[in-house]
Structure 1
Amino acid sequence: MPTQIQSTQQATLEQHLNLQVANWTLLYTKLHHIHWYLSGPHFFTLHVKFEELFTEAGTYLDEIAERLLSIGGRPIATLKETLSTATIQEAKGTQEPNAWVAETIRDFAQLVTELKEARQVAEEAQDGVTEDLLLSIQSKLDKHIWMLQSYLGH
């Protein structure tokens, strides 16, 4: 039978994972939005890149939700829960492509911060599998941030 500390750690870990589920659900839609509404001289480059990013987002969403289920949690599964939990904002309207790239960098940086926090909670809960999953996602996001910043000339 789990101790109170283990139960508390488990609940905290589930909250962190559900934050990731909410953000990846929203981000999947947001990246799709950007992909659809892009225009301008870099359309072909960015259109392909954002398709890659929303496809990857869908994969992370599924992996995190399945991990949550495998440890006895219940992933957020409604749009209402997603919107009330997510820490990133929806895409609205259209923007200049570089503004969308910059916004994506900010979203990814937010996710990296929250992934680090979730990894710490997973470590405290002695859940190395979850910790490894989150580190893998963070590593990919770090690379995307670097590449997108390079695209913008930063």
Structure 2
Amino acid sequence: MTMRGTPHHAPDSMTAAAVATARSWVIGAVVYALASLLVHSMTDSWATDQRLESTEWRVFLLYLPAALYAFLATLAAAQLHPEPFRDQPAAHLLACLPVPVVAQLVSLLRHRGAGVEGQAAPTVAMILGCLVAVAVDLRLSTGTPD
């Protein structure tokens, strides 16, 4: 019985999987938002029109942070995704990848007229951040020595 006097039933595996996935999404979203706010607060003063004309500055101010947000959000979501669900590759990827992917899709929709570089470069940065995070998560979960 629970505190309210109703019998307690263990959640079935589908419910447990959904809760685990949702929890990973929430932590991924929180990490993504916090990383974005922190980096933007540090770099906004550097992002002048003159600097943003330079490819190197755009990479430094826009695309590297995009890869960092995706990496941190994906890794946090992946690390929080519990056993036994993380042993199922599709379920594990579904738990750790949607936050950066959805954030990138929203960004693409908001900046539709950004041109090829303005759409492709942040998308590639997001993909690279996610791939590195999945690789790091796999390495951490297998405990493979160096």
Under a length normalisation based on structure 1, what TM-score does the superposition of the two structures give? 0.38
Bigger radius of gyration among the two: 2
Under a length normalisation based on structure 2, what TM-score does the superposition of the two structures give? 0.40
